[in-house]
Amino acid sequence: MGGMAAPATTLESAIHSALATVDDPEIRRPITELGMVRSVAVDAAGVADIGILLTVVGCPLKDKLTSDITAAVGSVAGVTKVKVDFGVMTSEQRRDLQQSLRGDSGAEPVIPFAQPGSRTRVYAVASGKGGVGKSSVTVNLAAALAARGLSVGVVDADIYGHSVPRMLGTADRPTQVEDMIMPPQAYGVKVISIGMFTSGNAAVVWRGPMLHRALQQFLADVYWGDLDVLLLDLPPGTGDVAISLAQLLPTAEIIVVTTPQAAAAEVAERAGAIALQTHQRLVGVVENMSWLELPNGERMEIFGTGGGATVAATLSRMVGAEVPLLGQVPLDTRVRESGDAGRPIVLTDPTAPAAAALNAVADRLALRRESLAGRSLGLRPAIA
């Protein structure tokens, strides 16, 4: 901070320009665009007093906003000190913010990813049975895709067995702005889970209609912004959530996770075959826990071999199109350890064989071209 003093009006203009470089940590848009800058004043000694309006009292990211604003304004020539004074938006200001973000004015929330113009690729990660590492695959793919510069969101749709927040290392709660829910972020990934709305480790005891409504709210009421990729961690099997997903997001594409074990592969085939009834596209199969690499370089195939390839071949015959085996992920205790610690292995130990395999799957997903299915190409007949 410091430098020669500039005329107040010029200095205030420079401070406004600096504030335009500060993004709200939750919405990821400049605070100047969101109506969060209440006032800017600077005295003759170069002390800048910045008034900021928070969306809610007790904003969990208030400290980050303070540091970001202090750094941005403090770099302006002529500013000797920065003071940040926080207030709270009125109900009317929050409604205006909601309308500017969602473009509605009290209308029933819609699912942006189900709209014809959506450019978000939606991947539903499914499995036939529990215990095959579906959530680990989802979390690591999300972190890997975000590390590649994509805007990524994760819906923990496994309402009964939610585990995504722990695996991403976040205990933050969502912030509510009027009818909108701002999702927490971890490693650049926006995430929502029923575990963020329950007390402690309380069990969720809901029937089908409640599960459907929860999924609908996660998709429509959460402000996701402009996502490149949305991943949904589905519960195992072909129950209520899988059916609701097909109704709410008919264009979602399915990734099937299995282990090499024959019994697990047979169940995984049934999970993938639901795409025939829902008319959803199968992206491919990920075989998890494929083998254990021994110190001498040999592979111990604890759960057998060939399950992933079998599932991919069977599903290919069922749908009449290639369903590729996207990758085989070795069994590695570091995957479990990183999940328990909330640090995805693709980020903490990217050279580990399991991380390399997951990164390779993420590469394939990141390079997939956008589908034109169901979209207007804007063609018009020529007028003679």
Instruction: Read off the pLDDT of residues 216-266 as tens digits, 9 standing for 90 and up.
Output: 989 999 999 889 999 999 988 777 888 888 889 988 999 999 999 988 888
Same domain, 83 and 116: no
Residue 335 pLDDT more than 80? Answer: yes
Contact present, 254 and 126 (Cβ < 8 Å): yes
Q: Report which residue type is found at 241.
A: V
Across the range 190-218, mean pLDDT stands at 80
Q: Are residues 127 and 83 in the same domain?
A: no
- How much is the pLDDT for 107? 57
Side-chain-side CA neighbours of 297 within 13 Å: the count stands at 0
CA distance 76 to 79: 6
Q: Point out the least confidently predicted range of 12-21, 65-74, 251-260, 362-371.
A: 362-371
pLDDT for position 3: 46
Cβ count near 368 (within 10 Å) = 12
The answer to whether residue 226 sits within a structural domain is yes
- What is the value of pTM for the model shown? 0.78
* Residue 214 falls inside a structural domain: yes
Residue 74's φ and ψ, nearest 5 degrees, are -65, -20
Question: In 83-236, where does DSSP find H-type helix?
Answer: 91-102, 134-147, 164-167, 208-220
> Within 13 Å, how many C-alpha atoms sit on residue 48's CB side?
34
Same domain, 120 and 250: yes
Cα 169 to Cα 164: distance, rounded to the nearest angstrom: 9
Which range marks the domain in which residue 19 is found? 8-89
- Measured in residues, the chain has a length of 384
Does residue 135 sit within a domain?
A: yes
Residue 133 in tokens:
């590492």
- Count of domains for the chain: 2
Calculate Rg over the CA atoms of the chain.
24
Choosing from 19, 54, 89, the residue where a domain stops is: 89
Residues 84 and 188 in one domain: no
Q: Are residues 236 and 334 in the same domain?
A: yes
DSSP 42: E
CATH number, domain of 253, equals 3.40.50.300
Tell me: do 351 and 248 sit in the same domain.
yes
61 and 134 in a single domain? The answer is no
Q: 200 lies in a domain?
A: yes
DSSP bridge partners of 176: 181
Mean predicted confidence (pLDDT) in 279-291: 93
Q: Are residues 190 and 250 in the same domain?
A: yes
Same domain, residue pair 175 and 252: yes
Q: What is the mean pLDDT of residues 129-134?
A: 90
The DSSP call for residue 30 is B
Closest by CA position to 8, among listed 62, 76, 60:
76
> How far, in Å, CA of 172 to CA of 60, rounded?
8
**Is 150 within a domain?**
yes
Kindly tell me the number of DSSP H helices and DSSP E strands found in the chain.
12, 14
Residue 381: pLDDT above 70? no
